[in-house]
Amino acid sequence: MKMYLISDNIDTWTGMRLSGVEGAVVHTREELKEELDKVLADKEIGIILLTEKFGREFPEIIDNVKLEHKLPLIVEIPDRHGTGRKPDFITSYVNEAIGLKL
């Protein structure tokens, strides 16, 4: 199985290409849909790497793919600007999930 990157910036795409991961750079909703359709049709791709920006801007597209397809696995990754999460997001997540203050 292969990985495939769908990025919103050239820098992330270049870094992943250097490590051997194919991918594309897209900016609009339509481009994202087209690229996802292309990737979903390729049965060799087992993991789609998406920059977190797409998860924030187009959650309905990403959630739809996650719900309707067992494969490929979609993993949201931070881009060169870092993650949009708070520094203590893991602790907050645990606090919300089990009600235990760490």
- 81 pLDDT higher than 70: no
- CATH (domain of 63): 3.40.50.10580
Report the C-alpha dihedral over residues 74, 79, 84, 87, rounded to 10 degrees. Answer: 100
Number of domains observed in the structure of the chain: 1
Helical pair 29-41 and 59-68, crossing angle rounded to 10 deg = 20
pLDDT in tens, 16-66: 898 899 999 999 999 999 999 999 999 999 999 998 888 888 889 888 888
Range of the domain at 77: 2-98
Q: 69 pLDDT band (50/70/90 cuts)? A: confident
Look over the chain and give the mean of its residue pLDDT values, rounded to a whole number: 84
Region 78-94: what's the mean pLDDT? 65
72 touches 45 (CB < 8 A): yes
Residue at 92: amino acid letter: S
